[in-house]
Homo-oligomer: A and B are copies of this chain.
Amino acid sequence: MSLILASGSPRRRELLSLITTDFTVKVSNAEEKTGEGLSPAETVEALAEIKGEAVFSLYPNDTVIASDTVVSIGGKILGKPHSPEEAFLMLSSLSGKTHTVYTGVYIKNASSKTVFSERTEVTFYELSGEEINGYIKTGEPFDKAGAYGIQGPGAVLVKCISGDYYNVMGFPIGRINRELKKFSI
């Protein structure tokens, strides 16, 4: 029985490596679609579960971890931007304000299952158009919910947070570490 990370995110791989190097990565091709009218927390938990189940159905003897992250601001949910223009709009909407990052986590093996989410509030500095464009030019925004990564060059966009930093970077590795101890791996 081994541990599978059902995520292609290099940040999640790096974070899981902090607690074990004994895992493999299998990315699901599940369609990431949820019902209407879900809260952000319900959305990330449902999406983590969809991704996780798709991989667990192929590896039912292993322990699977899956995850999903969204950014929520003013009742709007931000996923990954598809163009520099969309990244600019997203980052402009975050400038000088506090938004909430939700990350859902699914862990399952043959004998146990848990699905939970964590929320972290993130406050951005007021950003000039020049700063936003400079950040977009680094290429960082395009694989990240809300068009930024809190680590690397995005570090200087963020004034303060309330909650788990790693929940913003990839997933809440401290809580995952504790939940995994309840699983027999």
The residues of B that contact A155 with a CB separation of less than 8 Å are 15, 18, 166, 173-174
Q: A118-151 vs B: 1/0 string, CB under 8 Å?
A: 0010000100000000000000000000000010
Residue from the list B19, B153, B164 in contact with A158, Cβ < 8 A:
B164
CB-CB nearest in chain B for A126: B178
Residues of A within 8 A of B (CB): 15, 18-19, 120, 125, 150, 152-153, 155-166, 173-175, 177-178
Known: A125-B174, A125-B178, A155-B174. 17 other contacts (CB 8 A): A15-B155, A18-B152, A18-B153, A18-B155, A18-B156, A19-B156, A150-B165, A155-B173, A156-B174, A156-B178, A157-B174, A158-B174, A159-B174, A160-B163, A161-B162, A161-B165, A162-B162
Q: Identify 18 residue pairs between A and B in the complex whose beta-carbon atoms are under 8 Å apart, listed by A's number.
A: A18-B153, A18-B156, A19-B156, A150-B165, A155-B166, A155-B173, A156-B173, A156-B178, A157-B174, A158-B164, A158-B165, A158-B174, A160-B162, A160-B164, A161-B161, A161-B162, A161-B163, A165-B165
